[in-house]
Amino acid sequence: MTDPRADDPARVTARILLEIDAVLFRPDDPFVLTSGRRSPVYVDCRRIMSYPRARAKLMDLACARIQAAAGFESLDAIAGGETAGIPFAAWIAERLGLPMVYIRKKPKGFGRNARIEGHLPECARTLLVEDLATDGASKLSFVEGLREAGATVNHTFVVFHYGIFPESLRSLGDRGVSLHALATWWDALAEAEAGGRLDADACRMVRAFLEAPESWVGPDPAAT
């Protein structure tokens, strides 16, 4: 039976990320994140840089998503978040014919002590670009930094949004910022399942994590 969503941009994105091993599923041997939390899923959007054909398709999808969400003449500049957002911001800015800047996580501490690199006009309607979003905390810091520099920031874009932490959308929404993404873990799971990359047990374990990531413990390490 043909999957009616197979050509959906979110599923196409998920398919590309799976093909280049940018998204990984390992429910039987969970990843250990920097927080110490165990996770059956892992995403590394930096891999996109090394695959020019996949990269071109994803950036075409990104620009279409941005224009559909924010409008065709509603942006004056693209800002990449240090460091992972910088290449994506550059590719998107080139396609949209817009100036690009990047924003540091904190002022560099010497010279102009700037947090914004590049020329950002006062009140420029600016799109913040990063590679991915989990709980939205880093986006808030970058948004505040851009606003302090005089920019107007109502939209942020990421290639991949975890889509399992509701507070990410809520915290950004409370600051007047809409988050736009190409795909979530739900899209990645649907594509992996449709493509036979995961068996029924693995799908069940991953789905349990996505539904309750804070309480997920996974298999007992002592039993493996």
- How would you class 117 by CB atoms within 10 Å of its CB: exposed for 0-12, middle for 13-18, buried for 19 or more? middle
Integer Cα distance of 202 and 189 in angstroms: 10
Which DSSP letter does residue 223 get? G
Which DSSP letter does residue 127 get? E
Tokens of 198: 């995961």
Please provide the CATH number assigned to the domain covering 9-223. 3.40.50.2020
> 162, 124, 139: which is closest to 85 by C-alpha?
139
pLDDT in tens, 179-214: 999 999 999 999 999 999 999 999 999 999 999 998
Tokens of 95: 């396609």
Q: Given the structure tokens 């080139």, which residue do they identify? A: 94
pLDDT in tens, 22-47: 999 999 999 987 777 889 999 999 99
- The mean pLDDT of 211-220, rounded to a whole number, is 85
pLDDT at 136: 76
User: Does residue 107 or residue 2 have the better pLDDT?
Assistant: 107
> 104, 100, 93: which is closest to 66 by C-alpha?
93
Q: For residue 222, is pLDDT > 80?
A: no
Contact criterion met (CB below 8 Å) for 123 and 151: yes
Integer Cα distance of 162 and 23 in angstroms: 11
Q: Given the structure tokens 């800015």, which residue do they identify? A: 93
- Give the ranges where 42-184 is alpha helix by DSSP (H): 52-70, 85-96, 137-148, 166-174
